[in-house]
Structure 1
Amino acid sequence: MVTSISAAMGVGSGIDTVQLIEDLANASKAPKEAQITARETANTAKISSVGSLASAIDSFASALTTLISGGTLFTQPTSSDTSILTTTMKPGAHLSGLSANIEVVQLATAQSLASGSIADTAAPIGVGTFTLTTGKGAFNVTVDANNNSLSGLSAAINAANAGVTSSIVSDGNGGSRLIIRGTTGAAQAFTMVPQAGADASLSQFAYAGVGSTGGLTQAQAAQDAIIKLDGIAISRATNSFSDVLPGVTIDLKKASVGTVVGIGSSRQTDALKQAVEDYVAAYNSLETMLDEATAPADSDGANGGPLRGNSAIRDMRTKLAAMSAMKLRSGDGPTTLAEIGVRTARDGSLSVDTARLDAALANSPDAVEELFNPSQKSDNPLVSISSAPGLAKPGTYVLTNLVPGINGGDASGMINGVAATASGNTLFGAIGTLAAGLAFQPLGTVASATITVDLGLGGALKAVRDALRSTTGPLVTMQDRLKKEAEMIGDDREKMEMREDAFRARLEVTFTAMERRVAAFKATQSYLEQQIKMWTNDD
């Protein structure tokens, strides 16, 4: 608007009213704009600081959770000869004192059959139906006018979904062979016999069992894996034994009759020590970030942290500081980080008393391991816990009147006086109760037993993180409030701009009117002066 009326400005008064309006408008707007900009800058700093803290807490908790879930802090099973068998710890297992001797007598193998060489896989082979009998039952495999070829027979076998697979391979001499392979285990042996009425030519693809002639040749027999565990023979259909040693999966690599492989356990002492040091370092880094974010202002009110005096941050610091004294496990031995040498200084930072940590690892290694790792224990060997660590809330669960499922029926029992939910022989804590997430199998009738669940440091830290980061937690609440503040600041800036634009417009109207009046007065003055001059000259 200034440019549109600039020609009218200063004409009468001789004053540079365009610049005067600019100066007056700026004088009105500048302090208000500075105040809003200061609010905006402070709020942006708070948003950035809260975001950085949230990210740091996530990283702090996630790093420890990843370390624990990877199993590197658990006692690990060992094999004295990994070329014969390897061992793997099951999630959440505790293997202290593991000791066993295993001899691998034979590996589990899958039956495989091979046909003679066939020159043309698309040539007719005859029509008829085979009975394919496997561990899954009896299945019909039909060759008719639509699939009368070696390729058609192979496809029909696969389409039967009988638990065997068929393929055609080149024999290297210009011909092809039909190969049929089952799955491992003696119970998975199979036969394939032509039914009455089938063309005689189909007999070349028949196999009636060991000793049969004239058809498919057995290249490998189906057999179970057999091991001797401390001298006791045990067989399984696969080369993986997951139920002979508690918490351990054994994978067979080769048979070696007469060779005894020792199974033991190896404590991850160095990893545990490093985990304590890493926790302290990560905590101190987070504490430094909190110090910077909440630093008090100078005496003149400047240079303070963006979150100084914030009650939500104080609450967060209190929760994190309590971790060192929080009870992380039940039972004898150390139950807190402070008891294994994690010290808290007056400034809130942590340090490690290495002598005390070494003593705890030497005297109570299982307890130190449990401080970090989730723990689930039953005081009765007839109760097998199956829920993954971390699903059930920490605490002690009283089990009563446990009866296993019989002949496919459901098990039954009570957890803390409430009927458990059953699915086969597995009992679950009822949804909506404190026991929700707990699952176990009664291996026999049990009048009373207890299960103790401890989350360890990883679970406890995750719980604190989740509480801080929940939709009603202090961090999310603060972020929401700061976002609303940013919106309010934007609204205030927009309203201020509108008010100042209106003020500038009023100035322009006022000074334009003034200039026009002054110009009119000057015109009148000039006219009067001319008239007076004329009157004077006439005299």
Structure 2
Amino acid sequence: MSVRINGLASGLPPNLVDQVIEAERMPIKQMQGQKNTIEDKVKLVTDLETKINDISKNLTSIVGARGFVDRKFESSFPDIITGTLDPNVAEKGEWTLEVVQLAGKPSAVTNGFPDKDKTTLGVGYIKFQTEEGEKEVYITEGDSTLEKIAAAINRSGAGVRAMVVNDRSDKEDSFKLEISGLKTGDDNEVKFPTVYLLDGRRDLQFVATNKAQNAKYKIDGHEFEATENKITDLIPGVVLDLKKAKPNEVVNLKVTENYEVIADKLKTFVDSYNGALAFIQNQNKLTPDRDGNQRLGPLGGDSMVRMTESRLRSMIQDPQQTNSKFKRILELGVEFNRNGTLNLNQDKFNKIVSENPEDVVEFLRGDFVTNGFVTTMKNRLGSIVDAQSGPVTTRKKSMQERMSQIDRRIDAKERMLSKREEQLRRQFAKMEESMSKLQTQGASAAIGGGG
């Protein structure tokens, strides 16, 4: 009497092929684990590469071919003169100015009215004589209140601007129309003639006018004029803003290096340098794993990491071949901490750079080609991550190539397993078919013998 197991004629497990293939897939899982380990290391090497590049980027902003690129403008009386500068253009220097007169727009003001939106002032037109010729603004019956006349003037494009002013010095007729030109300077004069308005409830007329005028200022006792209160062509790279006229008051103006910003940029370089160094130190640090055993980081002990750390330290310690009296960055307030990272003593740096600005610039900049701290540092950092020969980059490439090799091996193994699975399933099916036939024949013989 035959017996079937699990419903199959052979008595074998129905997922036998799956079990065999899964067992033969173990090498693939091992290779995938190897790839994952390498992939994690690639991410770490990429992180180190980024940190090295960050050091170089932060160096670039400290000093340029012309010296320090950060400057500031100072005025002894900012309520009289202020200024803004372009640090890439402005040159260091000192100047003295005296503001005799501010530039002004032409303007006029009308008589007062009890309201701005009820009293009608008539129908007609208002003429303005400008540098562009005579301009007329027509006033209709629907636009004859003070407020609507102002709006009509502003819509007209006549080269003037109007607004209603509530002048509380006149309690009864406090609303007035003020009209001004758009530009300062006596080249932009506007004449305000008589108003031609008829049949209004009140008459509108100009009761006070101011002429357009140029700004006047003195340098070294010599007087000059400008059409605006912003002067752009006096001090290179500086826009002066004349705020108030004050004859006989001398204002001292300076363009100097902004040592605070320069120190902040050097501090940013120090921070990025420490970021790369701390990364390396963490890789070389012993930490307990899941089993409590002390292990280095994934890149700990790697020759590439050791080489990078050695180069980073030598960059700080090696002397610079420049004409500066300073030879090492450590002389400018950059100091080594006990843990091997850097610290910037900003007070010390500010004192040194304020007393010896040219020597500090020379040390940092050098010839901007082959020597100088910034140039040398950037060249050495570039050699670490050079696409062809840099130790960090070449290690990253070799790891990526190993990952590609593993991928190719996994693909080949998967193809082989696919064929193997197909072959096993055919063999298993044939065996099942044969066993089923044998069982059928056995059952028929048993029935015949029993009869």
TM-score by length of 2: 0.66
8 Å contact kept, 2:112–2:175:
yes
Please give the alpha-carbon distance, in whole angstroms, between the structure 1 residues aligned to 2:5 and 2:121.
Answer: 102
Please give the alpha-carbon distance, in whole angstroms, between the structure 2 residues aligned to 1:216 and 1:492.
Answer: 96
The DSSP-based 3-state class of the residue aligned with 2:100 is strand
Instruction: Give the superposition deviation at 1:365.
Output: 0.7
Q: 1:337 to 1:191 in 2, by over 3 A?
A: farther
Matches within 5 A, 1:209-358: 215-218=206-209, 220-264=210-254, 267-269=257-259, 272-273=262-263, 275-289=265-279, 304-305=298-299, 333=324
**Number of equivalences:** 423
Residue number in structure 2 paired with 1:211: none
8 Å contact kept, 2:83–2:239:
yes
Please give the alpha-carbon distance, in whole angstroms, between the structure 1 residues aligned to 2:16 and 2:197.
Answer: 113
Deviating more after overlay: 490-499 vs 183-192: 490-499
Q: Describe the superposition over 1:364-419 as per-residue Cα deviations: whole angstroms up to 9, x where unpaired.
A: 413524776999xxxxxxxxxxxxxxxxxx89xxxxxxxxxxxxxxxxxxxxxxxx
Which ranges in structure 2 are unaligned for 5 or more consecutive residues? 286-295
Q: 1:261 to 1:292 in 2, by over 3 A?
A: same
8 Å contact kept, 1:54–1:475:
yes
Residue number in structure 2 paired with 1:180: 179
Of 356, 368, 374, 2:360 maps to: 368
Matches within 5 A, 1:390-405: none
Q: 1:103 to 1:350 in 2, by over 3 A?
A: same
Q: Describe the superposition over 1:205-251 as per-residue Cα deviations: whole angstroms up to 9, x where unpaired.
A: 6xxxxxxxx53522x54333323223222332333333333444433
Matches within 5 A, 1:464-483: none
Q: 1:280 to 1:238 in 2, by over 3 A?
A: same
Please give the alpha-carbon distance, in whole angstroms, between the structure 2 residues aligned to 1:129 and 1:115.
Answer: 12
Of 42, 45, 56, 1:46 maps to: 42
Residue number in structure 2 paired with 1:190: 190
RMSD: 5.9
Residue number in structure 2 paired with 1:22: 18
**Residue 132 (str. 1) matches residue 129 (str. 2):** yes
Instruction: Give the superposition deviation at 1:28.
Output: 1.1
Amino acid at match of 1:109: G
Q: Describe the superposition over 1:161-181 as per-residue Cα deviations: whole angstroms up to 9, x where unpaired.
A: 454322234446576432212
Please give the alpha-carbon distance, in whole angstroms, between the structure 1 residues aligned to 2:134 and 2:373.
Answer: 53
Please give the alpha-carbon distance, in whole angstroms, between the structure 1 residues aligned to 2:347 and 2:109.
Answer: 67
Please give the alpha-carbon distance, in whole angstroms, between the structure 2 residues aligned to 1:326 and 1:138.
Answer: 71
Residue number in structure 2 paired with 1:107: 102
Please give the alpha-carbon distance, in whole angstroms, between the structure 2 residues aligned to 1:201 and 1:371.
Answer: 82
Instruction: Give the superposition deviation at 1:524.
Output: 5.0
The DSSP-based 3-state class of the residue aligned with 1:514 is helix
Query: Per chain length, whose mean CA-contact separation is higher, i.e. which structure has more relative contact order (CA < 8 Å, sep 6+)?
Result: 2
Please give the alpha-carbon distance, in whole angstroms, between the structure 1 residues aligned to 2:256 and 2:250.
Answer: 19
Deviating more after overlay: 161-170 vs 515-524: 515-524
Q: 1:105 to 1:80 in 2, by over 3 A?
A: same
Which ranges in structure 1 are unaligned for 5 or more consecutive residues? 206-213, 296-301, 376-393, 396-453, 535-539
Instruction: Give the superposition deviation at 1:530.
Output: 8.5
Residue number in structure 2 paired with 1:504: 421
8 Å contact kept, 1:40–1:489:
no
Instruction: Give the superposition deviation at 1:279.
Output: 1.9
Residue number in structure 1 paired with 2:164: 168
Amino acid at match of 2:111: G
Q: Describe the superposition over 1:140-165 as per-residue Cα deviations: whole angstroms up to 9, x where unpaired.
A: 22305487424554344334545432
Instruction: Give the superposition deviation at 1:191.
Output: 1.1
Residue number in structure 2 paired with 1:209: none
8 Å contact kept, 1:284–1:349:
yes
8 Å contact kept, 1:77–1:95:
no
Q: 1:190 to 1:179 in 2, by over 3 A?
A: same
8 Å contact kept, 2:97–2:219:
yes
8 Å contact kept, 1:8–1:516:
no
Q: 1:326 to 1:501 in 2, by over 3 A?
A: farther
Residue number in structure 2 paired with 1:428: none
Q: 1:290 to 1:519 in 2, by over 3 A?
A: same
Amino acid at match of 1:283: Y
Q: 1:46 to 1:225 in 2, by over 3 A?
A: same
Matches within 5 A, 1:516-535: 516-521=433-438
8 Å contact kept, 1:139–1:160:
no
Instruction: Give the superposition deviation at 1:286.
Output: 2.4
Deviating more after overlay: 104-113 vs 355-364: 355-364
8 Å contact kept, 1:79–1:86:
yes
Instruction: Give the superposition deviation at 1:27.
Output: 1.4
